[in-house]
Amino acid sequence: MLADEIRFLFGYDRWATTKVLDALGGVSPVVWGQTGVVDERGLGSILVHHLGASRRWRKSFEGQPIEDADRPERQPLPTVDELCRRWKEEWAAVDAWLPTLTDDFVARLDEGIPIWQLLVHVVNHGTQHRSEAAALLSAEGRSPGDLDLFDFSEAEAGAAG
């Protein structure tokens, strides 16, 4: 896999996550804070976990230490607005990091696993949690709409042409 293909997948990850975050407006505090809906998590904690995992993976690829602030799952549940603000901060960090990816880097091995597979895992992990959140939002009448990679590809093609 090439670095440009990884950047495409991370673009998809942001696009789909943004659609889920956009569907959160007006969600009740009860729905947001509920637990034990999908395994031990609920809507808010699913999305907080997604952010924390994404941040930790990025920092590990950058060779940065993981700090307590990188584990938002261990902190009180933020508000929807706070979570959206934190995602924007994370995306700014991703925007600074993604251009540094090279084909050589993504082909390297990390404990026997090609880094490109770990990078794809980050996006796939987000897909799992977005789908959980989308199902919960849809049950509340707040579907984020189609989140498929194909839909992102069509949107990108439309934006380019």
Dihedral angle over CA of 105, 108, 109, 113, nearest 10: 70
DSSP string, 43-84: HHHHHHHHHHHHHHHHHHHHTPPP-GGG-GGGSPPPPHHHHH
pLDDT along the chain (161 residues), means of 10: 97 98 94 86 94 95 86 87 96 97 96 97 97 96 95 89 68
- Residues forming beta bridges with residue 16, ordered by sequence position: none
At 75 the pLDDT is 83
At 17 the pLDDT is 98
| Alpha carbon distance 19, 121 (integer Å) | 20
At 73 the pLDDT is 78
At 7 the pLDDT is 98
Q: Is the pTM of this model over 0.85?
A: yes
| Alpha carbon distance 93, 43 (integer Å) | 24
| Alpha carbon distance 100, 11 (integer Å) | 15
At 68 the pLDDT is 78
Overall CATH class of domain 3-156: mainly alpha
**First and final C-alpha spacing in the chain:** 25
